Structure 1
Amino acid sequence: MENAGIKHTKIFESTKIMIGGFVMLIIAMGIGRFSYTSILPLMQSQAHLSVTESGYLAGSNNLGYLIAAFCAGFIAWGTRRAYHLKIQLVLCIISTGLMGIASSFIWWMILRFLTGISSGLIFVLSSSLVLDALLSDKRQKWIGIFYGGVGTGIALTGLLTPILSHFSWRGTWIGLLVIGIVLLAPVWTFIRDDKTKPKAPNTDSPTSSAENESIFGWLLVTYGLEGLGYIVSATFLVAMVKQMPHMSSFADYSWIIVGIAAVPSTVLWSWWTSKAGYIKPLITAFILQAFGVIMPVWLPNIIGVTLGSILFGGTFMGISMLAIAAARMARPSSGNRAIALMTGFYGIGQILGPIGAGIVLEVAHSYSLSLILATLVLIIAVTILITGAVNSNKRGLLRNY
């Protein structure tokens, strides 16, 4: 009975940590990072933000995210992850709200950069905190639910932006600050380090063999191209739909659909991974995402935008989860550095994507060309991944993937 009570208490504690992590992802990713996508059309029309400036603001946020996420993989946080998480959550919420107070483009650049740093640290540290708690209780199947916080955050900000927009673009940013505080307050005490460490992986197992590192280079390049390809749609989807004939009123809903599709996607991709390994689902996710990015260009109507939003939302978090998990398996002796390198390549793509797309938009005066180029990047990425998988399979190194 005593052991059962201890087990029940541990499960209850890890559940609270997971709920706290879920809310942290809503704040860091939904509010801190991706709310810019739904607010962008307001800033373009009311604050006269140009498409080139739009790209630079997105690039500044992604640069901050890259620096934070990359460095976080090489820092020994010890038992102070929760302490640093709380600091970064407060900074993320404040820097987001200050966007509605600042009037200078330079200040917007600085604030988006600072928000990127906070959201990057929150994503890495909350992932570490929650995964440790869940793995120590052998609750791996709950990991997909935790990452569903990203999609929930996107859907939430997509729903709130049209309501908050009645107070102008400034009121929308400030309103998100208030929403962030309301979300954070109930789970503040849930954010704490789990004293139990998860069971160390068996270094003698086949999946821990150094030979499995052969696929890592292919994954690294592929994931970098994913960052470059997906971020164009993630930045400009709402603004593009706003400019479509008879589609302006549907623009905000397109981003809500992305978020709703992303919520269950991590659970579904996790389930398929348990049946088929990482590589086949990853290849499938890339192909579906390429269709999702090009769909609004191919069918510039409500059907095309809806299908594109579903395919995009249903794949972008799945790709991140699958690619990072496969990379960690490929380099078991240096998992944190593998994740940091993957995040670094991904982040570089995320910086170059919006800036390049903004320049293309300025010249071509059309979002279509940017999305076509993004689709081509994703096609190249899946081609590289398939090539790497075939080469590794020929050498008998893909059996555990």
Structure 2
Amino acid sequence: MTSAYRNALLLSLGPAAGIGLGRFAYALLLPAMQADLGWSYAAAGWINAANAAGYLGGAMLAPALAQRVGAARAFAAGLAMLLPALAAVALTRDVAALAALRLLAGASGGVVFVCGGLLAVGLSLRAGSGGLVLGTFYAGTGLGMILSALAVAPLLGIAGATHWPQGWLILAGLSALCAALALLPLRDGLGASVRQAGSRGPTPLRFWRILAGYLLFGLGSIGYMTFIYGHLAESAGGWRQAMLFWCALGLAAVAAPSIWRRLIGGASPERSFALLVATNALGSVLPFLMPGALGLWLSAFLFGSTFFSTVAATSAFASALPQAFDRGRAIRAFTIAFALGQFGGPVVLGWTADLTGRLDAPLMFASLVVLAGALLGVLERRPDAIDGA
């Protein structure tokens, strides 16, 4: 194992904590919290919106933090902020307090994701193996999903909905372990070469098509992540089937660097983006086009492997930009576009579900939105064709 790959593997535990445990694990705990606290879907939506708003704020703040203190210190600060935000959820039943804590967790996740992405881009440029390094870093979120499913789903499935506070404490403990390991590469001075020099250069709006496509990808894909676990938990397979499916999503994300390595590292970044997003759209609609076990597990493989690989493709796009562009600014633009999509997605898709009274309609609509994002990626110009003037 090369030092670059080892460092990428350790760094990937940052998004495992900040995103896999800190953001997406909420979907596992939400049904129990709703049942125990008597939440309406509107209340649950506000909590989720607070987390998305925090993530957006953290993503916007991250480049300034990287410029001021360096990407490595900002990455570490984001992880440190995450742990109390998760643990404190177990101590309150107040909706406003819970929303504030989820906002804080979202902000920490945004800082970890953007600053960790800067570290991964710097590592990939030094190692000359961009596809593998970037894919490994972003696949860490899948590991966080696996950990959360194995730890939280049995607790709630066996002990009952009232044990959701213990679930949050478990998430905090797992995040602490991941954070400690994720910080190890920083002792080698990894972040020294990626301190931001400022937000100069051409505006990221010069590549607005892929940014808009990424926004649509965030809007559509979050519908799948929001609805699929609860849908499966309420089906005949119960929480065990839902847990295994969530683990399958995570495993597919972990395997994604090997599956899509040649595409991300070899093809033009905008074409990689388009193909990955189109494959994601297919994966999200398969449970409804192919009812049964085959469609379900194919869906987990296609969606899980492409969801986080698409993020790696956007970082590859940023790293391939001409020197005139500020790469940190480009990564922030992608993260903001994705966060805006994820902020609006649950509202739009939830309204569609309420209107139709069915889950298949909003999920199929979400797939069409994601497919539209892929088409925008096809229309994007190659990064080296942008003159940066």
- TM-score tier by shorter-chain length is 0.7 to 0.9
Does 1:94 pair with 2:84? yes
- Cα deviation, residue 74, structure 1: 4.3
Indicate which of 167, 179, 182 corresponds to 1:184. Answer: 179
Question: Which stretch of the first structure deviates more once superposed, 60-69 or 160-169?
Answer: 160-169
CA, structure 1 residues 287+82, in 2 after alignment: closer, same or farther (shift >3 Å)? closer
- Cα deviation, residue 233, structure 1: 0.9
Partner of 1:108: 98
Partner of 1:122: 112
Q: For residues 96 and 339 of structure 2, what CA distance do their matches in structure 1 show?
A: 22
Does 1:197 pair with 2:193? yes
Indicate which of 357, 365, 372 corresponds to 1:373. Answer: 365
- Cα deviation, residue 29, structure 1: 1.3
- Cα deviation, residue 19, structure 1: 4.2
Match of 1:274, SS?
helix
Deviation string for 1:297-347 (max 9, x for gaps)?
A: 333433322221211101111111113422553464222222222222211
**Alpha-carbon contact 1:89-1:122 (below 8 Å) kept:** yes
CA, structure 1 residues 158+53, in 2 after alignment: closer, same or farther (shift >3 Å)? same
Match of 2:320, SS?
helix
Q: For residues 278 and 66 of structure 1, what CA distance do their matches in structure 2 show?
A: 24
Counterpart residue identity of residue 374, structure 2: V
Question: Which stretch of the first structure deviates more once superposed, 149-158 or 164-173?
Answer: 164-173
Partner of 2:328: 336
CA, structure 1 residues 79+111, in 2 after alignment: closer, same or farther (shift >3 Å)? closer
Q: For residues 60 and 107 of structure 1, what CA distance do their matches in structure 2 show?
A: 11
How does the TM-score come out when normalised to structure 1?
Answer: 0.83
Match of 1:69, SS?
helix
Deviation string for 1:123-145 (max 9, x for gaps)?
A: 11122234324533445343322
- Cα deviation, residue 247, structure 1: 5.0
- Cα deviation, residue 366, structure 1: 2.7
Does 1:49 pair with 2:39? yes
CA, structure 1 residues 50+144, in 2 after alignment: closer, same or farther (shift >3 Å)? same
CA, structure 1 residues 329+369, in 2 after alignment: closer, same or farther (shift >3 Å)? same
Partner of 2:223: 232
Does 1:242 pair with 2:237? no
Does 1:253 pair with 2:244? yes
**Alpha-carbon contact 1:56-1:354 (below 8 Å) kept:** no
Pairing 1:1-400 to 2, within 5 Å after superposition? 12=3, 17-77=7-67, 80-140=70-130, 141-165=132-156, 166=158, 168-186=163-181, 188-192=183-187, 193-194=189-190, 197=193, 216-246=207-237, 248-330=239-321, 332=323, 333-386=325-378, 388-389=379-380, 392=381, 397=385
Q: For residues 289 and 296 of structure 2, what CA distance do their matches in structure 1 show?
A: 9
- Cα deviation, residue 196, structure 1: 5.3
Question: Which stretch of the first structure deviates more once superposed, 53-62 or 30-39?
Answer: 53-62
Partner of 1:203: none
CA, structure 1 residues 382+82, in 2 after alignment: closer, same or farther (shift >3 Å)? closer
- Pairs aligned (count): 373
- Cα deviation, residue 92, structure 1: 0.7
Q: For residues 6 and 116 of structure 2, what CA distance do their matches in structure 1 show?
A: 13
**Alpha-carbon contact 1:74-1:337 (below 8 Å) kept:** no
Deviation string for 1:29-82 (max 9, x for gaps)?
A: 111111112222222333333333333322221111111112323445355433
CA, structure 1 residues 280+252, in 2 after alignment: closer, same or farther (shift >3 Å)? same
- Cα deviation, residue 263, structure 1: 0.7
Deviation string for 1:241-298 (max 9, x for gaps)?
A: 1233455531121111111001121343232233332233322212211111112233
Counterpart residue identity of residue 193, structure 2: K
Q: For residues 275 and 139 of structure 1, what CA distance do their matches in structure 2 show?
A: 10
- Cα deviation, residue 380, structure 1: 1.9
**Alpha-carbon contact 1:216-1:331 (below 8 Å) kept:** no
Deviation string for 1:106-135 (max 9, x for gaps)?
A: 122111111000011011112223432453
CA, structure 1 residues 365+46, in 2 after alignment: closer, same or farther (shift >3 Å)? farther
Q: For residues 20 and 104 of structure 1, what CA distance do their matches in structure 2 show?
A: 36
Q: For residues 350 and 302 of structure 1, what CA distance do their matches in structure 2 show?
A: 28
Q: For residues 91 and 286 of structure 2, what CA distance do their matches in structure 1 show?
A: 36
Between the aligned residues of both structures, percent identity stands at 24
Match of 2:91, SS?
coil
Partner of 2:197: none
Q: For residues 84 and 73 of structure 1, what CA distance do their matches in structure 2 show?
A: 9
Match of 1:49, SS?
coil
Counterpart residue identity of residue 118, structure 1: S
Q: For residues 41 and 302 of structure 1, what CA distance do their matches in structure 2 show?
A: 23
**Alpha-carbon contact 2:119-2:191 (below 8 Å) kept:** no
Deviation string for 1:193-230 (max 9, x for gaps)?
A: 437537xxxxxxxxxx98xx897121111111111011
**Alpha-carbon contact 2:252-2:301 (below 8 Å) kept:** yes
**Alpha-carbon contact 1:266-1:321 (below 8 Å) kept:** no
Counterpart residue identity of residue 102, structure 1: T
Counterpart residue identity of residue 331, structure 2: I
Question: Which stretch of the first structure deviates more once superposed, 129-138 or 313-322?
Answer: 129-138
